[in-house]
Amino acid sequence: MALKGTLKDFGIADILQLIGHQTKTGVLHLVAKDEEVHVAFSNGSIVRADSASRKQRDRLGEMLVHAGILTRDQLDEALEIQKRTLQRLGDLLVGKHFVAVEQLKEMVQLQVSETIYRLFGWKSGTYEFEQGAVEFDPAMVTPLRSESVLMEGFRRVDEWPKIRAVIGSPAMTFVRLAELPPEVAKAPGGGKDDVDVDIDAAFGEEKRAGKGEFSTLGRNEARVFALAEPGRTVQEIIDRSRLGEFETCKALCNLVGGGKLQAIAPARAARGERLGPLGRSLRERIGSGLTRLGMTAVVGAAVLGLSYLLDAQQVAESSGEAPFADRTIAHVVGDGQLARIHVALAVHRLEQGRYPDRLEELQTEGLLTARDLRYPYRSRYYYRRDGGGYVLLPPIE
């Protein structure tokens, strides 16, 4: 089967559906900028997903360490042996009794699923399917049916914006406000060491009660609540829960919405990373940590030539007169200020995943000053959220 092209012409969902429908066996190669993923299929089901650009913390050994299953010393010892023997890391860890077979299978399955579902955030790139025999360990990986992956992938893409509006940063922490009801706290699979039930629900045929409903508190919420200790970040909870990024963040969202947890925003220095299928850092998405400076500098330069006029025309805001005697200058400067506010709104959305509810949030974030929101006018700009966008108009003078 000849299957090759660009993701703009043939999306991830279409490719998975075609391979699954025709029950093909082979490897799908996907490349997008600095990312490269190879997905292996056996009779139309996914049995392996390898990322050539996988981050350090997403490698199997690191996942086991962050999950609290393996110690750093044990991992270092196993890696050293691997260099000499070229054995698979998983076999080494099980052979030395560092990790149980069930724990290893759980993390391998999680690694595969996390790699697959991140592909749903890809909007560009190339693909090529190479048909042929595929090797995998059926004792270690449960094949993922393409139809199930498609349904779950679409669900995640649809729900991520709602989750990100509440859980917007991996550096966020929580404070417990109330205990869980006894029936939730004691739900099957609720204990953080009892993982088999959730793995079966995520990758098998069992339907998880309340899946897709943000108001439901179930076993995932029980496990995540037990891990949400004061000072522990979202990323640490994700690592330790062994549920994956989406299910962990959704459980946290439910717990915050249900009044069980209070989310604490991270310090500004820790806000660089975002969650979700598009959750790369601003450095990766924009190309520089100086995004805000670069964007606002363009607007600032446009109005810099008028600065000498501002000193001559400006009057105190407390007076009853217009800040500018020359209305033409006021409108020119006002247009530049509007552009500056638009830029600040765009930067806020990149950092927070949404537009602010009030312009004053831009002042609190340090994107604008109080003067920026009124000068050269006495009245405030008209601003309101409008669906996924906003409306911004100058005051009527």
Do residue 265 and residue 355 come from a single domain?
no
What's the rounded Cα separation, in Å, for the pair 87 and 117? 29
Contact 351, 282 (CB under 8 A): yes
What's the rounded Cα separation, in Å, for the pair 208 and 206? 6
Do residue 132 and residue 233 come from a single domain?
no
By CB atoms closer than 10 A (0-12, 13-18, 19+), residue 124 is: exposed
- Is position 158 within any domain? no
Do residue 320 and residue 256 come from a single domain?
no
Do residue 16 and residue 58 come from a single domain?
yes
- Is position 153 within any domain? no
Do residue 140 and residue 12 come from a single domain?
yes
The pLDDT, as a whole number, for residue 273 is 61
Do residue 269 and residue 294 come from a single domain?
no
The pLDDT, as a whole number, for residue 348 is 77
Domain count, the chain: 3
Q: Strand runs (DSSP E) across the chain, as ranges? A: 3-6, 26-32, 35-42, 45-51, 126-131, 144-145, 173-176, 261-264, 382-386, 389-393
Do residue 21 and residue 138 come from a single domain?
yes
Residue 351's alpha-carbon distances to 41, 51, 113, 270, 287, in angstroms, are: 37, 26, 27, 11, 14
What's the rounded Cα separation, in Å, for the pair 268 and 287? 19
Do residue 9 and residue 106 come from a single domain?
yes
Contact 130, 26 (CB under 8 A): yes
Domain end point (choices 116, 147, 178): 147
* Cα Rg, the chain, nearest whole Å: 26
- Is position 70 within any domain? yes
What's the rounded Cα separation, in Å, for the pair 348 and 175? 25
Residue 328 parent element (H or E): helix 327-352
Nearest to residue 146, comparing CAs of 36, 9, 247, 25? 25
What are 151-155's contacts with CB under 8 Å, separation 24+? 152/117, 153/12, 153/13, 153/116, 153/117, 153/119, 153/120, 154/13, 154/120, 155/212
Query: How big, in percent rounded to 5, are the helix, strand and coil portions of the chain?
Result: 45, 15, 40
- Is position 283 within any domain? no
Do residue 250 and residue 181 come from a single domain?
yes
What are 148-151's contacts with CB under 8 Å, separation 24+? 149/16, 149/46, 149/116, 149/117, 150/13, 150/16, 150/17, 150/20
As given in the structure block, the two tokens for residue 62 are 């690191």
Q: What is the chain's pLDDT, residue by residue, as a tens digit (397 residues)?
A: 468 899 988 889 999 999 999 999 999 999 998 889 999 999 999 999 998 877 777 889 999 999 999 999 999 999 999 999 989 899 999 999 999 999 999 999 999 999 999 999 888 999 999 999 998 888 888 999 998 999 999 999 999 999 999 998 999 999 999 998 887 766 554 443 333 434 344 444 333 434 444 557 889 999 999 999 999 999 999 999 999 999 999 999 999 999 999 999 887 645 556 666 645 444 444 444 444 445 445 444 443 443 334 443 443 344 444 444 455 556 666 777 888 888 888 877 877 778 888 888 888 888 888 777 775 666 778 888 877 788 888 776 5
Residue 68's alpha-carbon distances to 30, 54, 58, 80, in angstroms, are: 32, 20, 14, 20
Q: Quick check: helix, strand or coil at residue 55?
A: coil
Domain end point (choices 277, 311, 340): 277
Domain end point (choices 98, 113, 147): 147
Instruction: Give the torsion sign (CA, 243, 248, 250, 256).
Output: positive
Do residue 57 and residue 137 come from a single domain?
yes
Q: Quick check: helix, strand or coil at residue 79?
A: helix
pTM over the 0.75 mark: no
Phi, psi of 48, deg, nearest 5: -160, 150
- Is position 152 within any domain? no
The pLDDT, as a whole number, for residue 186 is 66
* Residue 334 CB contacts under 8 Å (≥ 6 apart), including other chains: 376, 377, 394
- Is position 154 within any domain? no
- Is position 269 within any domain? yes
Phi, psi of 29, deg, nearest 5: -100, 125
Do residue 107 and residue 26 come from a single domain?
yes
As given in the structure block, the two tokens for residue 145 are 């049916």
CB atoms within 10 A of CB 347: 20
- Is position 318 within any domain? yes
Q: What does the longest C-alpha to C-alpha distance in the chain come to?
A: 83
Residue 115 parent element (H or E): helix 101-118
Do residue 135 and residue 179 come from a single domain?
no
Q: Which domain holds residue 385?
A: 290-393
Contact 228, 176 (CB under 8 A): yes
